[in-house]
């Protein structure tokens, strides 16, 4: 079976799958809804090393806090298919931003993080993009890099990180509750994993006056994190995200993301 130039046939044949919907294509992977042994499942073919690493982390989690993996060979992952509704993004737009943040924190608490870890890159390596962009950008990018360096030099509660916790990566199972998909797979400080919540579900929401401080306090209380340190990670992460956008030629998104960094810096008195 071939869809959009991508062939799912080897995996469909290997695992005796029955296609059960239209294929989904992203910048880094291709997905096909299928039936496997009578169960709704999702076949994912990774097209990048980052996605392959995420697949391996999903296998390591073994359904603990994340979608259950049924099969895994190379770039192909067959996993539990989760529901797209209820949607955390829709909860936010319906006035339940606080509740969505709490759900993200409660679900993140279920992800295994302790040793022995799978082979994963460090959070310091993840910040190379900011290291490269900040010298030419100055201003808030330089502040973000300075903050990131200080945090990376004094890590706390180091463990396995999802690396991309946000509203669209937490889906629902009627039987098992809220579960994560699409990890990046890193090792670093636990607080970092919560910073991206403050940049989501979209940048218009993230930059609403008073929103970042309010959600940071909810995260701090729900996840038992130091409020100020969480804000510092939010500043560092927003700088990193802006650096990625700049590298990709997405100048508007970079400017909006830097606004999140400025809000965090203002809360910190920087």
Q: Where in the chain is the domain with CATH 3.90.1200.10?
A: 95-267
Q: What is the largest CA-CA distance in the chain?
A: 58
pLDDT above 70 covers a percentage of the chain that reads 98
The pLDDT of residue 236: 98
Q: Using DSSP bridges, classify how beta strands 170-173 and 177-180 pair: parallel, antiparallel or unpaired.
A: antiparallel
Q: Mean pLDDT, the chain, as a whole number?
A: 95
pLDDT digits (tens, 9 = 90+) for 189-207: 999 999 999 999 999 999 9
Report pLDDT for 27. 87
- Determine the Cα–Cα distance for residues 158 and 186; give it in Å rounded to an integer: 10
* H helical segments located in 158-226: 192-195, 203-206, 211-223
Q: Work out the average pLDDT over 83-110.
A: 97
> What pLDDT does 4 receive?
47
Q: Is the pLDDT of residue 228 over 70?
A: yes
In the predicted structure, residue 1 carries a pLDDT above the cut 80: no
Q: What is the pLDDT of residues 168-185, one digit of tens each?
A: 999 999 999 999 999 999
Active centre residues (catalytic): 164
The pLDDT tens digits for 32-77 are: 999 999 999 999 999 999 999 999 999 999 999 999 999 999 999 9
Residue 137: which pLDDT band, with cuts at 50, 70 and 90? Answer: confident
Average pLDDT over residues 70-99: 96
**For 86, what's the count of Cα atoms within 13 Å in the CB-facing half-sphere?**
12
- Give me the residue label for tokens 């869809």: 3
Q: What architecture does CATH give domain 95-267?
A: Alpha-Beta Complex (3.90)
| Helices and strands counted in the chain (H then E) | 12, 12
pLDDT above 70 for 6? no
Portions of the chain given CATH number 3.30.200.20: 2-80
Q: What is the dihedral of CA 123, 179, 219, 242, to 10 degrees?
A: 40
Nearest to 196 by CA among 230, 164, 149, 229: 164
Statement: residue 5 has pLDDT above 80: no
E strands, the chain, in order: 2-3, 6-7, 18-19, 24-25, 29-36, 39-46, 69-73, 76-80, 158-161, 170-173, 177-180, 186-189
Cα 30 from chain centroid (whole Å): 18
> What is 2-80's CATH topology?
Phosphorylase Kinase; domain 1 (3.30.200)
């Amino acid at each position: 079976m071939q869809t959009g130039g991508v062939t799912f046939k080897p995996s469909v044949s290997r695992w005796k799958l029955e296609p059960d919907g239209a294929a989904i294509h992203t910048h880094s992977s291709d997905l096909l809804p299928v039936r496997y042994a009578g169960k709704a499942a999702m076949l994912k073919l990774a097209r990048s090393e980052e996605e392959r690493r995420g697949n391996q982390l999903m296998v390591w989690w073994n359904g603990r806090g994340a979608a259950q993996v049924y099969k895994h060979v190379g770039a192909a992952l067959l996993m539990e298919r989760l529901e797209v509704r209820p949607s955390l993004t829709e909860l936010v737009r319906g006035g339940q931003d606080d509740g969505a943040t709490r759900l993200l924190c409660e679900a993140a608490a279920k992800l295994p993080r302790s040793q022995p870890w799978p082979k994963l890159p460090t959070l310091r390596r993840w910040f190379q993009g900011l290291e490269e962009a900040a010298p030419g950008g100055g201003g808030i990018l330089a502040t973000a890099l300075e903050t990131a360096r200080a945090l990376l030099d004094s890590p706390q509660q180091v463990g396995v990180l999802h690396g991309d916790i946000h509203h669209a990566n937490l889906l629902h199972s009627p039987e098992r509750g809220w579960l994560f998909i699409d990890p990046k797979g890193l090792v670093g400080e636990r607080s970092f994993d919560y910073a991206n919540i403050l940049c989501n579900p979209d940048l218009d929401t993230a930059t609403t006056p008073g929103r970042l401080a309010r959600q940071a306090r909810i995260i701090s209380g729900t996840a038992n994190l130091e409020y100020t340190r969480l804000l510092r990670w939010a500043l560092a992460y927003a700088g990193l995200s802006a650096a990625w956008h700049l590298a990709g030629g997405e100048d508007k998104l970079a400017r909006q993301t830097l606004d999140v960094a400025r809000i965090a810096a203002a809360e910190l008195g920087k």
